């Protein structure tokens, strides 16, 4: 099987390059080989590559910059998925795509389900929702994985930023009223690779699935756990845990609004694949170990 992986240099894409090789030959063009913002270039590459499966890990993820770069965000998050889904439908192949908790309104305290009402608060969220809907309406065989708070041992992410600040400062203020589940890119890739064979054999139905660990925390709780576990793994930090102070979102204004409730129910995915998602703290421990040992 020939797998076309887009966004292979990103956090999730890097991990997918390591797991998808179990399923077939992986073609992961970099940005110099394929400009994903150029629809004609994408069309030409698809015709040349003739993949048996498309996995799209490419996205505009700069949430605040999307507010002033709407067209660019929609090109990557909506137009590209629509184009890929159209090709997949025409050639009778499957598409795997990644979305976000930002498609939901972010209120309340109940975990969002896949059929919960959507109401994005930002351009980023709206652009991702447009991509989800384009894939659903294309008629192609597909998996859309909505996830939250993605981080990894590589790339730019909250875990690595906290570790850097933990070495530089003795006190921090971190938002404590946004609640979700930190999701390592490694787990996203592992579950994706597990889900693809049953999708291709029609044992797993096309649709939207939430992909995140079990449990919940705030950004403040996530940061505190990062520092606690890092010290437990031998990291010498400057940060004083007692000086990691929680603050409300209103005290940390950003150009794009963030959802306060990013909880995602993973029951649909667990039942469909016959698995139990791990707890977020155990996944943090593995990711920290990988980062620290590098």
Active-site residue set: 124
Token pair belonging to 150 = 């993605």
Instruction: Please say whether the dihedral angle defined by the alpha carbons of residues 188, 6, 149 and 291, taken in this order, is positive or negative.
Output: positive
3-state helix, strand, coil in the chain (%, to 5): 45, 15, 35
CA neighbor of 109 nearest in space, from 177, 208, 176: 177
Say if CB 30 and CB 8 are below 8 A apart.
yes
CA neighbor of 233 nearest in space, from 288, 171, 189: 288
Report the half-sphere exposure of 35 (CA within 13 A, side-chain side).
Answer: 6
> What is the spatial distance between Cα 288 and Cα 160, in angstroms, rounded to a whole number?
9
Token pair belonging to 94 = 């499957």
Which of 279-283's residues contact partners 24+ apart within 8 Å by CB, and which partners?
279/213, 279/214, 279/215, 280/181, 280/182, 280/183, 280/212, 280/213, 280/214, 280/215, 280/216, 280/217, 281/215, 281/225, 281/229, 282/213, 283/182, 283/183, 283/184, 283/186, 283/187, 283/213
Convert 113-122 to b/e letters by CB count within 10 Å (16 or more is b): ebebebebbb
């Amino acid at each position: 099987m020939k797998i076309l992986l887009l966004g292979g240099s990103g956090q999730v894409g890097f991990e997918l390059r390591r797991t998808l090789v179990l399923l077939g030959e992986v073609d992961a063009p970099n940005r110099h080989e394929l400009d994903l913002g150029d629809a004609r270039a994408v069309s030409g590459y698809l015709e040349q590559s003739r993949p048996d499966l498309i996995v799209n890990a490419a996205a505009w993820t700069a949430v605040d910059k999307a507010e002033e770069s709407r067209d660019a965000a929609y090109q990557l998050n909506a137009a590209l998925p629509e184009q890929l889904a159209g090709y997949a439908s025409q050639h009778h192949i499957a598409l795997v795509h990644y979305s976000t908790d930002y498609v939901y309104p972010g209120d309340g305290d109940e975990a969002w389900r896949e059929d919960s009402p959507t109401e994005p608060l930002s351009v980023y969220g709206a652009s991702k929702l447009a991509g989800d809907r384009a894939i659903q309406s294309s008629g192609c065989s597909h998996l859309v994985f909505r996830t939250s708070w993605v981080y990894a041992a590589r790339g730019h992410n909250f875990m690595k930023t906290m570790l850097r600040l933990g070495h530089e400062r003795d006190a921090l203020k971190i938002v404590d009223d946004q609640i979700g589940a930190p999701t390592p890119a490694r787990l996203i890739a592992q579950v994706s690779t597990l889900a693809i064979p049953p999708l291709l054999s029609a044992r797993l139905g096309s649709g939207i699935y939430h992909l995140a660990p079990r449990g919940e925390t705030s950004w403040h709780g996530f940061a505190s756990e990062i520092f606690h576990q890092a010290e437990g793994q031998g990291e010498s930090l400057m940060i004083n845990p007692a000086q990691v102070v929680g603050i409300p979102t209103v005290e940390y204004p950003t150009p794009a609004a963030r959802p306060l409730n990013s909880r995602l129910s993973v029951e649909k995915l667990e039942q469909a694949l016959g698995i139990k998602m791990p707890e977020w703290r155990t996944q943090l421990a593995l990711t920290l170990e990988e980062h620290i040992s590098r």
